[in-house]
């Protein structure tokens, strides 16, 4: 009898965990943490690239709400000013500065941007560098990508981001503290059929920043690599796929993505995954059972290219278990 009760308890626990995994929006470690720790960011200087729209704009709002002083960067100055004035109207006592920059503009121009960022707020210096800006080309086959497209992706997503880091880190090292938060992607952990360049650029960031942390963590430098799957932003609601495709795609709202990003950073996580299923499931498989994970991805590859071409969902379970294959 006792054995039966124990077996029933184990089964119930297993089922509860299964349901939780099926409905969660982040990896186990991330979702087991509490809310963002305000004390970690209050009064700190947070520099956010890609802050003119999307996840970056929401991050700027949420960091401000937690009492941080924020620096907003991107190329479009008018949009940055809009974000700034919207933040100030919501949080009248907030400290917000606009610092336009182009990540593809080369080392000298990025050096000036770093010096400027360091000099803002009475030369307080940057505490958190949120590397959020990125360039993503429309989905296409890896072999259809041009040299020009390759350079554009790598210049912004990889070279510009690394250059800012290399120029900013010495200031942080002098102060004995600093935190790089890097918006990577599920495409930085798994193959992403139709997004070969984007995936390559995000894998590069993961490699660089995890290595950087291993070299500098004992000198007060922290690194958090965030890997979101599909996120609902104004861009995706307007353009990414047909209405039919969007209704099949379950995307994590950008507000929740920003919140979990700040949870990951303020709880000192080294890496965090933010996604609904099935992307989260695939990430776990590729990370912990790569032979099976890559087998899944090989089943998906051609079908995902077809789905992208016909503007259907590129994130649904049917790609894994459906039968239609591309020629
Ligand atoms: N949305 C998703 O589903 C998703 C999923 C996984 C990962 N992510 C990652 O999350 C981050 C934010 O995504 P998002 O969807 O919010 O992006 P988004 O809406 O496309 O915004 C990209 C941001 O980057 C800026 N940017 C682009 N090129 C730049 C350049 N050369 N120099 C400086 N800034 C530049 C853009 O501003 P300007 O055009 O004004 O320069 C914009 O503010 C990205 O790193 C992305 O890869 C997003």
pLDDT digits (tens, 9 = 90+) for 12-58: 888 888 888 899 999 999 999 999 999 999 999 999 999 999 999 99
Which whole number is the average pLDDT over 74-96? 98
pLDDT at 326: 47
Share of the chain above pLDDT 70, in %: 95
CB of 87 closer than 6 A to ligand 1?
no
Which of 48, 50, 227, 239 for mutating ligand 1's site (highest number of atoms within 8 Å of CB)? 50
What string of DSSP letters covers 153-185? HIIIIIIIHHHHHHHHHHHHHHHT-EEEEEE--
State both tokens at 188: 């930085």
- Is cis: bond before 161, omega within 30 of 0? no
Total domains, the chain: 1
Residue 7: other Cβ atoms inside 10 A: 10
Residue 325's pLDDT is what? 55
Ligand 1 within 6 A of CB of 133: yes
Residue 250 has what pLDDT?
86
Residue 50 domain flag: yes
In the sheet that holds 45-49, the strands lie side by side as: 96-98, 69-73, 45-49, 128-131, 178-183, 221-228, 271-274
Structural domain contains residue 230 = yes
Give residue 99's domain range. 28-277
Average pLDDT over residues 300-319: 88
The CA distances from residue 185 to 132, 229, 261, 306, in Å, are 11, 6, 12, 22
Q: Is residue 15 part of a domain?
A: no
Percent of residues, the chain, with pLDDT higher than 90: 80
Residue 290 lies inside a defined structural domain of this protein: no
- The reply to whether 115 falls in a domain is yes
With a CB cutoff of 8 Å and minimum separation 6, the contacts of 170 are none
Q: Which two tokens stand for residue 235?
A: 């861009």
Using CA atoms, how far residue 237 sits from 75, 230, 246, in Å, is 22, 12, 8
**Atom number of ligand 1 nearest to Cα 228:** 6
Cα separation, 63 vs 77, whole angstroms: 20
User: Is 120 touching ligand 1 by the criterion CB < 6 Å?
Assistant: no
Mean pLDDT of 150-162: 98
Contact criterion met (CB below 8 Å) for 265 and 181: yes
> Whole-angstrom Cα distance, residue 47 to residue 72?
6
Q: Residue 261 — left, alpha, or beta (φ > 0 → left; ψ -120 to 50 → alpha)? A: alpha
Which ligand 1 atom is nearest residue 198's CA?
47
The lowest-confidence range among 135-144, 184-193, 226-235, 312-321 is 312-321
Determine the atom of ligand 1 nearest the C-alpha atom of 187.
Answer: 6
Atom of ligand 1 at shortest range from CA of 75: 41
Mean pLDDT rounded to a whole number for the chain = 93
Measured distance CA(191)–CA(79) in Å, rounded: 33
**Beta pairing, strands 128-131 & 45-49:** parallel
Asked whether residue 22 is assigned to any structural domain, the reply reads: no
Catalytic annotation on 198? yes
- 236 token code pair: 């995706």
**In angstroms, rounded to a whole number, what is the distance separating the alpha carbons of residues 81 and 23?**
37
Strand positions, DSSP E, the chain: 45-49, 69-73, 96-98, 128-131, 178-183, 221-228, 231-232, 252-253, 271-274
Question: Which position has the token pair 């039968």?
Answer: 323
Tell me, what CATH number does 126's domain have? Answer: 3.40.50.720
**CA of residue 203 to ligand 1 center, whole Å:** 16
* Range of weakest confidence among 85-99, 115-129, 274-288, 306-320: 306-320
Residue 66 lies in a domain: yes
- Polymer length in residues for the chain: 327
Cα–Cα–Cα angle for 189, 274, 158, rounded to 5 degrees: 45
What pLDDT does residue 59 have? Answer: 98
Q: Is pLDDT at 206 greater than 70 in this prediction?
A: yes
Q: Is the model's pLDDT at 242 over the cut of 70?
A: no
162, 213 Cβ separation under 8 angstroms: no
Residue 164 has a pLDDT of 98
- Residue 103 Cβ contacting ligand 1 at under 6 Å: yes
Q: Give the Å distances, CA to CA, from 285 to 111, 206, 278, 324.
A: 40, 18, 11, 23
Does residue 135's CB lie within 6 angstroms of at least one atom of ligand 1? yes
pTM value surpassing 0.85: yes
Q: So what's the pLDDT on residue 239?
A: 54
Question: Span 223-251, mean pLDDT?
Answer: 76
What is the pLDDT, as a whole number, of residue 48?
A: 99
Per-residue pLDDT, averaged over 92-103, amounts to: 98
Per-residue pLDDT band at 327 (split at 50, 70, 90): very low
pLDDT of residue 13: 85
Does 226 fall in a domain? yes
How far from chain centre, in Å, is Cα 47? 15
Q: Whose CA is nearest to atom 19 of ligand 1?
A: 54
53 lines ligand 1 (CB under 6 A): yes
């Amino acid at each position: 009898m006792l054995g039966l009760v124990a077996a029933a308890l184990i089964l119930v626990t297993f089922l509860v965990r299964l349901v939780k995994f099926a409905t969660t929006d982040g990896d186990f470690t991330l979702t087991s943490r509490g809310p963002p720790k305000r004390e970690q960011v209050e009064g700190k200087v947070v520099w956010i690239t890609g802050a003119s729209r999307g996840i970056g704009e929401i991050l700027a709002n949420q960091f401000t709400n937690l009492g941080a002083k924020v620096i907003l960067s991107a190329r479009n100055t008018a949009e940055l000013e809009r974000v700034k004035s919207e933040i100030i109207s919501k949080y009248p006592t907030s400290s917000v500065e606009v610092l336009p920059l182009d990540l593809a503009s080369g080392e000298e121009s990025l050096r000036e941007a770093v010096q400027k960022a360091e000099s803002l707020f009475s030369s307080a210096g940057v505490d958190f560098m949120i590397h959020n800006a990125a360039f993503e080309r429309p989905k296409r086959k890896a072999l259809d990508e041009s040299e020009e497209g390759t350079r554009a992706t790598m210049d912004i997503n990889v070279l510009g981001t690394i250059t800012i880091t290399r120029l900013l880190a010495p200031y942080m090292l002098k102060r004995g503290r600093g935190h790089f938060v890097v918006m990577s992607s599920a495409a930085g952990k798994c193959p992403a059929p139709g997004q070969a360049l984007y995936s390559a650029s995000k894998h590069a960031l993961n490699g660089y920043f995890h290595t950087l942390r291993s070299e500098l963590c004992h000198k007060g430098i922290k690194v958090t690599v965030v890997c979101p799957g599909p996120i609902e932003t104004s861009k995706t609601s307007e353009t990414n796929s047909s209405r039919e495709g969007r209704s099949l795609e379950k995307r994590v709202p950008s507000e929740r993505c920003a919140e979990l990003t700040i949870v990951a950073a303020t709880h000192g996580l080294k890496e965090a995954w933010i996604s609904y299923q099935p992307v989260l499931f695939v990430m776990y498989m590729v990370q912990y059972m790569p032979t099976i994970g890559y087998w899944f991805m090989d089943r998906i590859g051609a079908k995902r290219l077809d789905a992208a071409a016909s503007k259907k969902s590129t994130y649904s379970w049917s790609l894994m278990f459906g039968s239609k294959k591309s020629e």
